[in-house]
Structure 1
Amino acid sequence: MSNREQDFKDIWSIIEEEKLKAIEDKSDETKSQETNVFFIGCKNSGKTTLILKFLEREETPKPTTGLEYTYGRRTRGMNLAKDVAHLWELGGGTFLSQLLNIPLTTDTISNSSVLIILDLSKPDELWDVMESLINELRSRIKSIVSDLRSTNPAIVTDLRRKAKEKHGAGHPDEPVLTPLPIPVAFIGTKYDVFQDFDPEKKKIISRTLRFVAHKYGASLYYFSNKSETLVTRCRQVITHFAFNGPLNQAVSMDYNKPLIVPVGSDSIGQIGIPSLSSGDDLAKIGAESKSPFDVWKQAYCGFFPQGASHSLLCQ
């Protein structure tokens, strides 16, 4: 076969491939897509408010007592395919966190994302709530992955790929990172209260949240329902999770302003080392701790001792 004939054949192969791709793309446009978005956090942290703002409903939030469900719809494409976002709100904070096992399953994990809602106005509860919810989420995902290894290993491979892509190959912080394999965002609520905190307190809380979010492959955003700018930003984040909508990649790491830290944009070098309360010694804490996570925990709790009251407030 001459070079001209080979080139002619290659051109037709490309044309046929493009035709098939166009048919597949058109088919995708007509298919309804479904996602699951989970809102977990402590009582009165603002989970319901976030959902209502996303759905643009002007309602007074009611207490969530267990696992509550609602949904959002969006029309997409020229063929008006209707995408559905299943919105799950877990009430009861850490007390009822195992209810997450009901909707987060082997069937839903591939199209699921999680918003961990943290009350910035209560730093003496924040760490315990955050750590408890992360541990529950990690445990559930680990159980699902274990089941999928024998039933659908391709999903496990895909989840691992997504986890690695969060920070990119060869990230300098890789030894410290344990990214979750599904999209996760920390939403720090009640920024209107937090902004009046002492600057040093804001610095400690913000840097700690940045470290934990960075470690677990989560984005971090501050929110207040009293700021239309922050409402719009968080609505965009939820739309991204729910409908794969576009996400503004702006970054703000100044603790004197609302944080905007998309996953993959931070680093330990930018975050710095933990601040210590008087009497604490970083070298001693580091020697006694098993991991950087434990160092940050000890440092944070040195400033903000975590009270037993959080378990009652989360019920």
Structure 2
Amino acid sequence: MPKAGDTLWDIARDEVEKRENNGDDGKRVEVCEKSVLFMGSKNGGKTTIILRCLEREEVPKPTLVLEYTFGRRARRHNAPKDIAHFWEIGGGTSLLELIRIPITVNNIRSFAVVLVLDLSKPNELWMTMENLLQATRNHVNKILAKLEKTDPEVAAEIKQKMQNNLQRDHPDYDLVDPFPIPLVIIGSKYDIFHFTSKSEALLLKARALINHLAFGYDRSKSVSVDHSKPLFIPAGLDSLSQIGPPPTSDSNIGKMRANTPLELWKKVFEKTFPPRSFSDLQDSKDPAQDSQYAEYEVDVMRAQKNQVCACSSIALHNQEFEQYKRNASKSWKEMDFDPD
């Protein structure tokens, strides 16, 4: 029943919520909301994966900064639609500080990260992975540290959930430090290495995986550890013994200083594919100058501001020059010159 003082909009909103949140039996059904952050190699295919997951037939555009979109799915007929929030950070590793915007205390329990790495650029791959994952881990750990003070049960629940991905009898249990939230790593452009393109089948696999993260669909049970084929390995279903040592001579391995198997693999990988420097991976392009973000009113205001700033800069330089001349004049008058 409408309450006293309700406006027409209040009544309409309550009616929509009632229809969306009630199941076929009239009982209230909670709408599930999840968030997924896509990050990784520049032009690595992140937008394409998101569009395919949402079944949108659009031509993907380069993502320069941080973009947001959402999708809705019904778990069954006439059921309320769950909501998935999709975030995408562009620019490769140049915008690490933006990671803190989508991942917050409020959504950390239902958040997942998808790291997309371009396999056709091996000299950038490890550096991109390392910097993005470390920045994300640091930010999530700060959130968990806050939660341990304000809501320790939630913090413990999140940590235990990730630890459960690895069974205690797993041979690498003591060596693994689980990522604090669900993480999927996708190697994109695999089809470049084969004469017969397999990109469509791989995109369908990626789509099923993203739907699991975003909408809670059943997780794929397939596993593929054959390195001559596209790998598909759910968390906890591989091991260091299965992966084996890096492909290098025993004598070379003996000369490499590494504290963990991951460090050893990194040294061998970077010896084979010398990494580009971190500064080379920074995106120096100004997003404000990109045509896909053009907005007439905003651009006019920005141009006016730039003009004012330029004029102010010139005026400031003129003032500084005049002050310099006055100071120089004083100093000259105070100098004792040799009469000769």
Structure 1 counterpart of 2:57, one-letter code: E
- Go from structure 1 to structure 2 and tell me whether the alpha carbon gap of 1:176 and 1:194 turns closer, same or farther (over 3 Å shift): farther
Deviations 1:229-273 (A, max 9, x none): 112111100000001101221111112211111111101110001
List aligned pairs for 1:163-174, cutoff 5 A. Answer: 163-174=162-173
CA contact under 8 A between 1:45 and 1:189: conserved in structure 2? yes
CA contact under 8 A between 2:189 and 2:199: conserved in structure 1? no
Please state whether the residue corresponding to 1:160 is helix, strand or coil.
helix
Structure 2 counterpart of 1:102, one-letter code: I
CA contact under 8 A between 2:34 and 2:110: conserved in structure 1? yes
List aligned pairs for 1:152-231, cutoff 5 A. Answer: 152-195=151-194, 227-231=199-203
CA contact under 8 A between 1:106 and 1:148: conserved in structure 2? yes
Which residue of structure 1 lines up, in the alignment, with residue 137 of structure 2?
138
CA contact under 8 A between 1:42 and 1:314: conserved in structure 2? no
Range that drifts further, 69-78 or 43-52: 69-78
- Go from structure 1 to structure 2 and tell me whether the alpha carbon gap of 1:300 and 1:314 turns closer, same or farther (over 3 Å shift): farther
Q: 1:302 aligns with which of 271, 286, 293?
A: 271
Range that drifts further, 248-257 or 102-111: 248-257
Which runs of 5 or more structure 2 residues have no equivalent in the other structure? 1-24, 287-340
Post-superposition offset of 1:34? 0.1
List aligned pairs for 1:74-85, cutoff 5 A. Answer: 74-77=73-76, 80-85=79-84
Tell me the TM-score normalized by structure 1. 0.77
**1:249 has 2:218 as partner:** no
CA contact under 8 A between 1:92 and 1:314: conserved in structure 2? no
Distance in 1, matches of 2:242 and 2:78, equals: 46
Distance in 2, matches of 1:83 and 1:268, equals: 38
- Go from structure 1 to structure 2 and tell me whether the alpha carbon gap of 1:233 and 1:118 turns closer, same or farther (over 3 Å shift): same
CA contact under 8 A between 2:92 and 2:283: conserved in structure 1? no
**1:112 has 2:111 as partner:** yes
Distance in 1, matches of 2:120 and 2:247, equals: 19
Quote the sequence identity (%). 42
Post-superposition offset of 1:63? 1.1
Post-superposition offset of 1:127? 0.5
Post-superposition offset of 1:170? 3.0
Post-superposition offset of 1:130? 0.6
- Go from structure 1 to structure 2 and tell me whether the alpha carbon gap of 1:91 and 1:27 turns closer, same or farther (over 3 Å shift): farther
Post-superposition offset of 1:195? 3.6
Post-superposition offset of 1:109? 0.7
Aligned residue pairs: how many? 260
Distance in 2, matches of 1:76 and 1:161, equals: 27
Distance in 1, matches of 2:26 and 2:244, equals: 48
CA contact under 8 A between 1:40 and 1:91: conserved in structure 2? yes
Which residue of structure 1 lines up, in the alignment, with residue 33 of structure 2?
34
Post-superposition offset of 1:95? 0.9
Distance in 2, matches of 1:27 and 1:154, equals: 33
CA contact under 8 A between 2:65 and 2:95: conserved in structure 1? yes
Post-superposition offset of 1:313? 8.6
Post-superposition offset of 1:60? 1.1
Q: Which runs of 4+ in 1 moved over 6 A?
A: 26-29
Tell me how large the CA RMSD over aligned residues is: 2.3
- Go from structure 1 to structure 2 and tell me whether the alpha carbon gap of 1:314 and 1:84 turns closer, same or farther (over 3 Å shift): farther
Post-superposition offset of 1:289? 2.0
Distance in 2, matches of 1:167 and 1:28, equals: 37
Structure 1 counterpart of 2:253, one-letter code: L
Please state whether the residue corresponding to 2:181 is helix, strand or coil.
coil
CA contact under 8 A between 1:168 and 1:264: conserved in structure 2? yes
Please state whether the residue corresponding to 2:174 is helix, strand or coil.
helix
Which residue of structure 2 lines up, in the alignment, with residue 284 of structure 1?
255
Larger radius of gyration: 2
- Go from structure 1 to structure 2 and tell me whether the alpha carbon gap of 1:248 and 1:297 turns closer, same or farther (over 3 Å shift): same
List aligned pairs for 1:233-272, cutoff 5 A. Answer: 233-272=205-244
- Go from structure 1 to structure 2 and tell me whether the alpha carbon gap of 1:158 and 1:311 turns closer, same or farther (over 3 Å shift): same
Range that drifts further, 145-154 or 74-83: 74-83
Structure 2 counterpart of 1:243, one-letter code: F
CA contact under 8 A between 1:30 and 1:79: conserved in structure 2? no
Distance in 2, matches of 1:151 and 1:45, equals: 38
Distance in 2, matches of 1:240 and 1:169, equals: 25
Structure 1 counterpart of 2:252, one-letter code: D
Post-superposition offset of 1:181? 2.7
